[in-house]
Chains A and B, each alone.
Chain A
């Protein structure tokens, strides 16, 4: 199994541009998450989903949008990119709220 796959791995955006970070998992997990990690800091939850068609905000949702049309995919959209969104983004999934969480390898985003 591939686990949690994120694309792209690296991206440079100009201020005001928009983009979508893709995330897909092949473990039939119900729960999916998006985190961001600033340099030297811990992970902060952006959005999460408990199943297809259901999404909810985490700690730092401003400037982002998500959708969950299928169990496998949980894309994260950045609208009007700002330098403050320069970060590493991690997608994760778990079967349920109490189960082990599996993370993707991360997407490094720089906004200039």
Chain B
């Protein structure tokens, strides 16, 4: 699986939108872009994923660049419960394993 690059940390004010970037310049045509988050002292949990088109769900939105070499996870209104480490991962459905990077630690300021 290709690797991803994310900023180590970001801050956001409560109830404001947050844009978490991810670079994946070596992405292949079959790689899906997945986002997971890890709350303190918990296992990671699924947030959203996409292939080419932008995606929305109840948790977040995923904006994918036209060349697919970068993507952005958008939290529309950050809450204190969104403080977590966010991981951007590439998954090839034909492959058997995937790798986590160090992720982005999001701090939400009341």
| CB <8 Å contact, B91 and A105 | no
| CB <8 Å contact, A100 and B46 | yes
Q: A97-B94, A101-B36 are in contact. Are A42 and B45 (CB under 8 A)?
A: no
- Comparing A11-19, A43-51, A73-81, the segment that makes contact with chain B is A43-51
Chain A residue nearest in CB terms to B93 = A98
Q: A42-B87, A45-B99, A98-B32 are in contact. Are A92 and B93 (CB under 8 A)?
A: no
Q: Does A96 contact B (CB under 8 A)?
A: yes
Q: A98-B32, A103-B45, A106-B43 are in contact. Are A42 and B93 (CB under 8 A)?
A: no
| CB <8 Å contact, A105 and B96 | no
- The contact size tier of chain A is 20 to 34
Q: Does B7 contact A (CB under 8 A)?
A: no
Which of B41, B49, B96 contacts A56 (CB under 8 A)? B96
Q: Report the separation of the CA atoms of residues A106 and B46 in the bound assembly, to the nearest whole angstrom.
A: 16
Chain A 50-71, CB-CB to B under 8 Å as 1, else 0, gives 1000001011000000000000
Chain A residue nearest in CB terms to B47 = A100
Which of B43, B99, B101 contacts A92 (CB under 8 A)? B43
Question: Which residues of A (79-98) have their CB < 8 Å from a CB of B?
Answer: 90, 92, 96-98
**B36, B45, B94, B96: residue with the most chain A Cβ atoms closer than 10 Å:** B96
| CB <8 Å contact, B95 and A59 | no
Question: CB within 8 Å of A: which residues of B?
Answer: 32, 36, 41-46, 49, 87, 91-103
